């Protein structure tokens, strides 16, 4: 029997302490989309090295023999996988499945999941951070960018919610 | 004294280990909060589950007040902590694109990675889409570089642009959060979807 989720205010406090630890140890916030970018850059470098070296965008991640996957942001997301897995194991929630509304098909759920990922990370590269790196970590250091990004993400999701309601309710 | 990284040069293995452990705490907290479930996250935008705002604002306030107390006690030099650079156009347009992705995919990047770790196949597909999105950005970067760099304002702090002290702004933010938490609790009753919340 799977366990119930933690009280949200408790879980939020725990998350805030983790963010505080990142500030104390490394002088930085939390992040997720950046790690995805580093993994992608690393893959491009492995698959088409010439293309990566010719590009202004990719080549800066390989300067001085650097390996993009051996970076703070990439290791942080490897940690997210480990931490999520530990939590899922402790609370008996480990299971391969597609989570979706019973009103939609598996393929519809997966198509929208893929598109959502494309949009989210594209937007995060433009805004220089996602919900964690820009919004949450930004707000914790009183950055105006953090508050504006947070308002834009949530405002936009509410504005579009009506169009995608069939997927969820 | 903190951040420790401003005093010591960490060897690479220790820096990467720290990143991994911070990430582990991050992923554990997200999963315990229930952010490994897209239907729970999406509840925020239909009112039936408002865990997102409760966890998000609680975390921001804990880190914000905690860092200011640590700064006051001399344990953390806030001038050495990264403050996000503000590119007005990119923040707004990027945020709008992210919001659209949120409601389509049901995850943000952090929660998507967390959810794939417990076996959610939709989250694996979301993160694959995320890799594609990062690739698309890299390939289209020359086209949107001007937009990405437009209206640069520097690492602006919100309290300074409002002419408030950090302490007063934090106090006001806590008050606003308390009101939002009340509204959120009411919304969950009004827009309740027991069929969904019992299942997730």
Per residue in B57-111, pLDDT tens? 999 999 999 999 999 999 999 999 999 999 999 999 999 999 999 999 999 999 9
Beta-carbon contacts below 8 Å between A and B:
530
Give chain A's domain count: 1
Chain B CB contacts of A128 under 8 Å are 84-85, 87, 90-91, 94
The count of C-alpha atoms lying within 13 angstroms of the C-alpha of A84, restricted to the half-sphere facing its C-beta, is 28
Rg (alpha carbons) of chain A, rounded to whole number: 18
Q: Is residue B7 pLDDT above 90, yes or no?
A: no
Work out the minimum CA distance from B7 to partner chain A, whole angstroms: 10
Helix, strand or coil for residue A48? coil
User: Contacts of residue A104 in chain B, CB cutoff 8 Å?
Assistant: none
In a domain, A124, yes or no: yes
The answer on pLDDT for B163 being more than 80 is yes
Nearest Cβ partner of A36 from B123, B125, B134? B134
pLDDT at A29: 97
- C-alpha distances in Å from residue A68, one per residue of A86, A93, B144: 26, 32, 23
Percentage of chain B surpassing pLDDT 70?
A: 100
User: How many CB atoms are closer than 10 A to CB B89?
Assistant: 16
Per-residue pLDDT averaged across B136-149, rounded?
Answer: 96
Residue B6 confidence class, pLDDT cut points 50, 70, 90:
confident
Count CB atoms within 10 A of the CB of residue A69. 18
**Nearest CB neighbour to B121, from listed A83, A98, A135:** A98
| Beta-bridge mates of residue B2 | B76
Please say whether the beta carbons of B86 and A52 come within 8 A.
Answer: no
Instruction: Identify whether A107 is part of a domain.
Output: yes
Question: Residue A69 domain-assigned?
Answer: no
Does residue B1 carry a pLDDT above 80? no
Phi, psi (degrees; rounded to nearest 5) at B17: -65, -40
Domain range for A113 is 99-169
Distance from CA of B12 to the nearest CA of A (A): 9
The greatest distance separating any two alpha carbons of chain A, rounded to the nearest whole angstrom, comes to 54
Give the sign of the dihedral formed by CA B185, CA B189, CA B191, CA B194.
positive
Q: What is the pLDDT of residues B19-57, one digit of tens each?
A: 999 999 999 999 999 999 999 999 999 999 999 999 999
Q: Is residue A132 part of a domain?
A: yes
Alpha helices in chain A (DSSP H): 8-26, 33-47, 49-54, 56-59, 72-90, 106-127, 137-140, 144-161, 165-168
Q: And the tokens for A161?
A: 């919610």
CB neighbours of B134 closer than 8 A, spacing ≥ 6? A33, A36, A37, A40, A41, A121, A122, A125
Is residue A159 one of the residues assigned to a domain? Answer: yes
Virtual torsion, Cα A2, B24, A12, B120, nearest 10 deg: -40
Position A151 in a domain: yes
- Other residues' Cβ atoms within 10 Å of the Cβ of residue B178: 11
Is the ipTM of this structure higher than 0.90?
Answer: yes
Q: Average pLDDT over chain B, rounded to whole?
A: 96
Residue B100, SS3?
helix
Facing B102 at nearest CB: one of A78, A142, A157: A157
Per-residue pLDDT of chain A (169 residues; tens, 9 = 90+): 567 999 999 999 999 999 999 999 999 999 999 999 999 999 999 999 999 999 999 999 999 889 999 999 999 999 999 999 999 999 999 999 999 999 999 999 999 999 999 999 999 999 999 999 999 999 999 999 999 999 999 999 999 999 999 999 9
Structure tokens at A90: 């402790």
Report the relative pairing of strands B86-87 and B152-154 from DSSP bridges.
antiparallel
Distance of alpha carbon A101 from alpha carbon A99, whole angstroms: 7
d(CA B55, CA B110): 14
Predicted confidence band of residue B10 (pLDDT cuts 50, 70, 90): confident
Q: What is the pLDDT of residue A1?
A: 58
A125 domain-assigned: yes
Residue A139 lies in a domain: yes
């Amino acid at each position: 029997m799977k366990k119930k989720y933690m009280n949200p205010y408790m879980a939020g406090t725990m998350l805030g302490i983790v963010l505080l630890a990142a500030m104390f140890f490394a002088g930085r916030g939390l992040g997720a989309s950046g790690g995805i970018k580093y993994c992608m850059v690393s893959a491009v470098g492995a698959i088409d090295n010439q293309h990566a070296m010719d590009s202004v965008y990719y080549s800066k991640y390989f300067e001085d023999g650097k390996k993009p996957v051996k970076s703070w942001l990439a290791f942080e997301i490897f940690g997210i996988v480990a931490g999520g897995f530990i939590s899922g194991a402790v609370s008996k929630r480990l299971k391969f499945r597609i989570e979706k509304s019973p009103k939609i098909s598996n393929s519809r759920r997966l198509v929208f999941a893929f598109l959502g990922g494309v949009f989210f990370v594209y937007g995060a590269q433009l805004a220089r951070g996602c919900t964690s790196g820009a919004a949450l970590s930004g707000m914790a250091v009183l950055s105006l960018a953090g508050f504006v990004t947070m308002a834009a993400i949530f405002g936009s999701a509410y504005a579009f919610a009506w169009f995608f309601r069939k997927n969820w309710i | 004294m903190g951040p420790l990284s401003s005093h010591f040069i960490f060897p690479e293995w220790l820096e990467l280990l720290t990143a991994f452990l911070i990430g582990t705490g991050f992923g554990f907290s997200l999963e315990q909060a229930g952010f490994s479930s897209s239907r729970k996250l999406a509840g925020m935008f239909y009112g039936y589950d408002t865990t997102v705002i409760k966890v998000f604002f609680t975390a921001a306030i804990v880190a914000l007040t905690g860092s200011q107390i640590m700064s006051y006690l001399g344990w953390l030099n806030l001038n050495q902590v990264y403050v996000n650079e503000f590119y007005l156009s990119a923040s707004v347009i990027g945020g709008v694109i992210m919001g659209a992705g949120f409601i389509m995919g049901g995850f943000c990047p952090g929660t998507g990675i967390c959810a794939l770790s417990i076996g959610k196949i939709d989250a694996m597909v979301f993160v694959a889409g995320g890799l594609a999105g990062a690739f698309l950005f890299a390939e289209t970067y020359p086209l949107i570089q001007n937009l990405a760099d437009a209206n640069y304002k520097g690492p602006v702090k919100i309290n300074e642009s409002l002419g408030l002290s950090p302490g007063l702004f934090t106090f006001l933010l806590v008050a606003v959060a308390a009101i939002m938490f009340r509204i959120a609790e009411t919304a969950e009753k009004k827009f309740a979807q027991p069929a969904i919340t019992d299942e997730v």
